Amino acid sequence: MTRYIMISIAGGILFGVMDGLINANTLAQRLYEVYKPITKTSVNFIAGIAIDLVYGFIIAAIFLLLYKSLPGETGIIKGVNFAILIWFFRVVMWVASTWMMYTVPTRTLVYTLSTGLAEMLVLGIFYGLTLHPAMSY
């Protein structure tokens, strides 16, 4: 259990750092100007950290629940397949809905798709290398 908690916390921190890098860089700031009219002027940093930590626990738990059914013989391959799965449900579906409902430049949607894939691959590989059901928790 201690191992799961430590890996989940590390995953949540990793999630938060990547979110910051993906969303706060100058390219992202230019691409996301389309959202400026509805963007908050300040971000609740503490709430953001808490949310990313909770995500770390939830994603780790789902990875462990799905582990045996994920394609692949090794943890890293299972992690990549898991990453593609969560990328589809988390990012692709959001981008498709945004494309249908709002006027957002294609390059903004492509940026979201590509950075979301990279982020999910990092997390999936991290969990694939560090978690599997046979470990003693």
Residues 3-37: tens digit of each pLDDT: 899 999 999 999 999 988 998 899 999 999 999 88
Range of the domain at 82: 2-130
Query: What is the per-residue pLDDT across 50-96, written as a single tens digit (0 to 9) for each?
Result: 999 999 999 999 999 999 999 999 999 999 999 999 999 999 999 99
Instruction: Tell me how crowded residue 118 is: count the other CB atoms within 10 A of its CB.
Output: 14
Q: How many domains are there within the chain?
A: 1
Q: What is the CA radius of gyration of the chain?
A: 16
Q: Does 125 map to a domain?
A: yes
Q: pLDDT-derived band of residue 134, with 50, 70 and 90 as boundaries? A: confident
pLDDT at 41: 83
pLDDT at 45: 85
pLDDT at 114: 97
Q: Does 104 map to a domain?
A: yes
pLDDT at 37: 87
Q: Could you tell me where the DSSP H helices lie in the chain?
A: 2-24, 26-31, 45-66, 75-87, 93-101, 106-130
Among 44-48, 89-93, 108-112, the least confident range: 44-48
Q: Does 137 map to a domain?
A: no
Query: Which whole number is the average pLDDT over 111-116?
Result: 97
pLDDT at 123: 96
Sign of CA dihedral 47, 49, 50, 54: positive
Question: What's the pTM?
Answer: 0.88
Q: Does residue 116 contact residue 90 with C-beta atoms inside 8 Å?
A: yes
Q: pLDDT-derived band of residue 135, with 50, 70 and 90 as boundaries? A: low
Query: Which whole number is the average pLDDT over 108-123?
Result: 97
